[in-house]
Amino acid sequence: MPYFRTTTFAAPGLSLIASAIIVVFGMWWLSRAEAVARKAGEGYAGEAATAPVVSDMVRERAAPAGNFDPAELPHGKPAESGPPFALAVLPLVVVIVTNFLMSLVVFPRLDFSFLAKYQWGGTTIGAVSGVWLMIASLVGIGAVVASLPAFAAVRDAVFSIQGGPLISLAAAMNVLAGLTGTASGGMAIVRNAFGDQFTRLATEYHISSN
């Protein structure tokens, strides 16, 4: 979107076809995996015939962490019915409708000429609207993770990996993508938090950026 000045609704036909393929193949794979697991006698903890043994020590240590008592695990049961279909898809509908309104209704009616100024990056709304709408929330989650004290341990572990900057860069992106739950968020955090370090390492190792 930033490069070709398109919106999230570009190529709707191809997008719907790709989505249908993903849904059909994904559901087939999940059904197959479930059948294999059930045939092997595997299942969830709630399906166990006997209640798990929970020691007093486990209960005492679990109590301060929250309001869940491990001893109550076998007493639960699945709901008799799932949520209504409309309620289940409502979050997706909200995202799609909001994206549509912002892209094709709200943004075109606003004056974003200030973005062309140097202090705003000398850009246009067409170049950044896709990032604003699709990546902002994901990067926001990643920024929160990056602000945590534990992130320093992750940073130190990443740069202690042997094999050169390419290895540590690949490891950093995959680890941070897992921590943040998003590939784009992980890449953005790596660029923002480690960009200077990796640029310096690339120069030291004579790695071309081309």
pLDDT in tens, 134-182: 666 666 666 666 677 777 787 788 778 888 888 888 887 788 777 766 6
Per the rule left: phi > 0, alpha: psi between -120 and 50, beta: everything else, 203 is alpha
Per the rule left: phi > 0, alpha: psi between -120 and 50, beta: everything else, 181 is left
Burial class of residue 189 (count of CB atoms within 10 Å of its CB; 0-12, 13-18, 19+): buried
User: Under a CB-based contact definition with an 8 Å cutoff, are residues 112 and 124 in contact?
Assistant: yes
**Confidence band of 3 (pLDDT split at 50, 70, 90):** low
Q: What's this model's pTM, rounded to 2 decimal places? A: 0.43
Query: What is the C-alpha separation between 155 and 146, in angstroms, rounded?
Result: 9
Query: What is the C-alpha separation between 77 and 17, in angstroms, rounded?
Result: 38
pLDDT at 46 over 60: no
pLDDT at 69 over 70: no
User: Under a CB-based contact definition with an 8 Å cutoff, are residues 176 and 154 in contact?
Assistant: yes
Phi, psi (deg, nearest 5) at residue 87 = -70, -35
What would the pLDDT profile of 118-146 be if each residue is shown by its tens digit?
A: 888 888 887 777 777 766 666 666 666 66
With the C-alpha atoms ordered 4, 6, 9, 10, is the resulting torsion angle positive or negative?
Answer: negative
Within 10 A of 194 (CB to CB), how many other CB atoms are there?
20
